[in-house]
Structure 1
């Protein structure tokens, strides 16, 4: 009988060990351990990455936090050839003011009796549309070529022609409406629409202001500009009034205000897995960890706080995977974390503690042994 008990005990222990070994590979976990992340950097094939400890040298060598779209907008500004916005084109509506002194077409003096009276001044406003072919039709003057001229050039031509029928004509020409020297604003803007470009040479931020601005947080907005076949997009909060990215708008530019809501994600051994919005122009790693409620006291390894990032330098054609590591048990790490900026789409991983996995394994073995112990005592 004793021999059977020993055999049963051995079989039971063997079964428990097998289940425990199997359990080691399948223990529930909310993320990898620090050693697993480091080992993955050595073994990863599909998405190779490297682990870098955050240090002053690493922080100084980080690629600039400025969006690449800023450089693209600056390039658009340099490649443009701004000209006058008030050239007359087909389809424009012109406001023509004609002033006369003495005898003239619109002065009202039409008889000999009128001629002996003191000279009088008169004015007449004519609204005319430039038809296809660039011609504008005017009373007494007939068709006049307008397209391709500036308002003062057309005014000089009209004044020259009026001298044949008017004593002292003066002419002022303005473009009251146009479909050509305009920029289009759309998207998350208060007053989307078509806006005329004037001699003030409106810049990008000027046009955003003219359109009423955006009701969204500036940190959550991108400005996308399309000029012909060229497209550039950059965060609104990175475009300053003095920068080249605040480019002068050209006719037919299309400006779109795009919502992007930049954020980072906190995963692993933390009290709350979450996606957190970057609602400030700059958020450092200390602030990001605090917003994510930090590593869990019960299950996290404070030596292994990792920032997973797809990083693209100024000379990189494709982004490269980099994992930055912070050891929160070192006091100096808190200063370094204040200098390390968190970027859009970063993933902060609080690694699991190895002791946490050991505790889970011990709990699993206890749960497996407890039902067997009464049977062993019954066999004694």
Structure 2
């Protein structure tokens, strides 16, 4: 103890060193919890998904499954996940002759053999009668009365009129033509050059023919979607799909609604990819291996090849095929919910450390609005931590030396 100050210098130094060690330890713990992160590690995603069979985000309680991509999964997603108008509506057929409907305008020309008949004179042998089919389906013909035209073919309408006039006119005959087609229209809206009501002809027409009559799409077919609504059903495919696959060029029906929208296909690349952000397809279809190439591949120094993930909302039919009906029911019981369009959240995982993955990835399709995430390698966090410590401990060490020389 100093006689002049009464302070125990060695004890004070020990106390100061203890305080510095405590402060240093606290700083390290704080730094360890503050290491910059740009997404979950592979282990975090995989283990969280395996913990109770479904990955749960506590804040929103979103539940989804984590599925490793193999050839079975890739084939199932391709087969069941590709939108199809033919599956939704059936390809259809040319069908029979079109029938008359409410609102149609007809021209009924009636001929008679005699010069002074009901519909003939000395100057002409026929009379043309305009008929508009009323909401009750009927139309009026002189000397015949109300004829129910709705549901008849033109040939049936002719026979009906002639039969009704046989006892009243002189050797009657008739021709029934369609002057205005109001009941057999198709509505075409959106990104076409001539949107509006397109009347169907007497022959059955394909979807591509109706789009052509509407002036065609204004944008590239690989970025243009065609939605067909019929009754309570709806289906959407890329215009390029209709061009490439004749089975998708279905026959249209009266009262169909067709919407053409321009929505460039993109996916978002996140994590340790060389190119981060929204990436356009610029093609009608894109495989996972092609998407990885568009994203510039992975960062060689920070990426974890075992952690390539695709975040997606998947259609129920695809989900059930991939995980199985029992598993799907279990996920629903745990609280998994759809996005309002019948799609459910799922994560697909690809292990690029396995050579087979490069083959499988060629047949796994990337969808519009997918999020592709490449996880960082666990060693990256340790390297960052060490670099932070190296820069932070310098002033702490300097302070410790100051105390030691006190």
TM bin, normalised by shorter chain, reads 0.7 to 0.9
Residue 204 (structure 2) pairs with residue 179 (structure 1): no
Distance in 2 between residues matched to 1:211 and 1:74, nearest whole Å: 22
Asked if structure 2 preserves the Cα contact closer than 8 Å seen for 1:41 and 1:51, the reply is no
SS in 2 for 1:295: coil
User: Gaps (5+ residues) in structure 1?
Assistant: 111-120
Cα 1:57–1:231 change in 2 (3 A) is closer
- 1:142, distance to aligned residue in structure 2 (A): 7.4
Q: 2: CA distance between counterparts of 1:350 and 1:69?
A: 31
Cα offset, 1:147, TM superposition: 1.7
Shift of 1:210: 2.0
* Structure 1 residue 104: Cα displacement: 6.5
Choose which of 60, 85, 103 in structure 2 pairs with 1:91. Answer: 103
Matched, 1:353 2:369: no
Which secondary structure state, in structure 2, belongs to the residue aligned with residue 223 of structure 1? strand
Superposed CA deviations along residues 55-99 of structure 1, whole A, max 9, x for unmatched, are 445544555254355465245x56x995532x3344322234567
Whether the 8 Å CA contact 1:269–1:300 is kept in 2: the answer is yes
C-alpha contact (below 8 Å) 1:73/1:247 kept by paired residues: no
Q: TM-score, normalised by structure 1?
A: 0.77
Which residue of structure 2 lines up, in the alignment, with residue 307 of structure 1?
Answer: 310
Q: Distance in 2 between matches of 1:241 and 1:266?
A: 30
* 1:34 to 2:42 alignment: yes
1:254-273 → structure 2 map (5 Å cutoff): 254-273=257-276
Which of 295, 307, 326 is the equivalent residue of 2:351? Answer: 326
Q: Structure 1 8/33 Cα, relative in aligned 2: closer, same or farther at 3 Å?
A: same
Q: Per-residue CA shift, 1:269-295, capped at 9, x if unaligned?
A: 234431223332221222211222222
Q: Residue 371 and residue 82 in structure 1: after superposition, are their counterparts in 2 closer, same or farther (change >3 A)?
A: same
CA contact (8 A) 2:268 2:371 kept: yes
Relative to structure 1, is the Cα distance of residues 224 and 265 closer, same or farther in structure 2, using a 3 angstrom cutoff?
Answer: same
Following superposition of structure 1 onto structure 2, how do residues 117-196 of structure 1 map, counting pairs within 5 Å? 127-131=130-134, 134-137=138-141, 143=145, 145=147, 147-148=149-150, 149-156=152-159, 161=165, 171-196=174-199
* Greater shift in the superposed pair: 260-269 or 54-63: 54-63
SS in 2 for 1:339: coil
Conserved in 1, the CA contact under 8 Å of 2:186 and 2:258?
Answer: yes
Whether the 8 Å contact between 1:205 and 1:241 is mirrored in structure 2 is no
Matched with 1:237 is: 240
Q: Distance in 2 between matches of 1:369 and 1:272?
A: 34
Larger displacement relative to structure 2 (299-308 or 350-359):
299-308
1:145 match: secondary structure: strand
Aligned-pair distance for 1:4? 3.4
In structure 2, the residue corresponding to 1:224 is in which secondary structure? strand
| Counterpart mapping for 1:190-229 below 5 A | 190-229=193-232
* Matched-pair contact (CA < 8 Å) for 1:32–1:268: no
Residues 352-380 of structure 1 deviation map (CA, whole Å, 9 limit, x = unaligned)? 12222112212222232222333334342
User: What's 1:73 paired with?
Assistant: 88
Q: 2:66 aligns to what?
A: 50
The 3-state SS of whatever aligns with 1:41 is: helix
CA distance in 1: counterparts of 2:77 and 2:232, whole angstroms:
32
Change (3 A) 1:284 1:88: closer
Q: Which residue of 2 aligns with 1:275?
A: 278
Name the CA distance, whole Å, in 1 between partners of 2:10 and 2:23.
20
Contact conserved, 1:73 with 1:233, CA < 8 A, in 2?
A: no
2:380 equivalent to 1:378: no
5+ unaligned residues in a row in structure 2: which ranges? 1-8, 321-327, 329-342
Deviations 1:137-160 (A, max 9, x none): 56xx57563624433344456667
Give me the whole-angstrom Cα distance separating, in 2, the residues matched to 1:231 and 1:294: 37
CA RMSD of aligned residues (A): 3.7
